[in-house]
């Protein structure tokens, strides 16, 4: 896919750094197209929450689509929630495929047999417990990918439990997809130095 232009900063870059938005034909509502698969014209915004919020505030979607648009005031939050859902869906798929475990002891056992690709710790869980699992992994001579972005409630929903503090995904494609999607969700919430993007209100 060729490079695209951010409607907020005016910068052109690869689509991987941007979010695509589509316009629903009959209602005119602007919706995030996070898989880049909705039909019709799309407009693009750097994958940062503050820039999506700025596009809403400055009515840049109407300018980008060149026709009237209906834009929800909380579009930036809706995008954040959807990015979380996409990442957690891969965790859920890994569970159904028998490639994910939850609970300190099960995660520790998966580490011992050398099958772990990504360690997952809840943001509201014990730091001591997370550190112990990391140390165990390093003792095996490997460095795990660590994801500590989601709450215990979010992890629990994905894994079919009430709350989950520790989880892990075994080596494989689902682990790689989960990590990529989780990183995308986390980076979206980061507020970069606006001057670095020559961004002006």
Q: How far apart are CA 192 and CA 145, in angstroms?
A: 23
- For residue 1, the model assigns a pLDDT of 62
**117 shares its domain with 144:** yes
Residues 6+ apart with CB under 8 A from 179: 117, 118, 145, 147
SS3 annotation, 116-156: EEEEEECCCCCHHHHHHHHHHHHHCCCCCEEECCCCHHHHH
Instruction: Tell me which residues of the chain have a pLDDT lower than 70.
Output: 1, 143, 191-201
Note whether residue 101 is domain-resident.
Answer: yes
Q: Which pLDDT belongs to residue 38?
A: 93
In a domain, residue 200? The reply is no
Residue where one domain finishes, among candidates 24, 54, 73? 73
Number of compact structural domains in the chain? 2
Same domain, 22 and 104: no
Do 105 and 171 have their domain in common? yes
Q: Are residues 171 and 97 in the same domain?
A: yes
How much is the pLDDT for 138? 81
CATH code assigned at 52: 3.30.1230.10
In angstroms, the CA 79 to CA 49 distance is 8
Per the confidence metrics, is the pTM higher than 0.85? yes
Residue 192's pLDDT is 52
Asked if 46 and 130 sit in the same domain, the reply is no
Query: Do 104 and 171 fall into the same domain?
Result: yes
Same domain assignment for residues 62 and 103: no
Task: Say how far residue 143 (Cα) sits from the centre of its chain.
Answer: 22
Residue 106's domain comprises 82-188
Asked if 184 and 119 sit in the same domain, the reply is yes
Residues 44, 105 within the same domain:
no
pLDDT, tens only, 65-96: 999 999 999 999 999 999 999 999 999 999 99
């Amino acid at each position: 896919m060729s490079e695209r232009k951010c409607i907020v900063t005016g910068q052109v870059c690869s689509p991987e750094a941007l979010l695509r938005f589509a316009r629903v034909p009959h209602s005119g509502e602007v919706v995030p197209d996070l898989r880049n698969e909705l039909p019709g014209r799309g407009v693009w915004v750097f994958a940062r929450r503050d820039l999506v919020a700025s596009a809403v505030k400055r009515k840049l979607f109407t300018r980008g689509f060149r026709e009237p648009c209906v834009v929800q005031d909380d579009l930036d939050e809706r995008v954040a929630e959807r990015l979380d859902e996409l990442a957690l869906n891969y965790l859920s798929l890994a569970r159904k495929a028998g490639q994910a475990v939850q609970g300190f002891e099960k995660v520790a056992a998966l580490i011992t047999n050398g099958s772990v690709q990504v360690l997952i710790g809840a943001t509201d869980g014990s730091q001591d417990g997370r550190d112990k699992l990391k140390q165990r992994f390093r003792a095996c001579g490997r460095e795990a990918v660590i994801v500590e972005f989601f709450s215990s409630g979010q992890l629990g929903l994905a894994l079919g439990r009430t709350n989950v503090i520790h989880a892990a995904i075994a080596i494989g494609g689902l682990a790689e997809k989960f990590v990529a999607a989780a990183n995308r969700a986390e980076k979206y919430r980061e507020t970069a130095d606006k001057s670095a993007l020559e961004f002006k209100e």
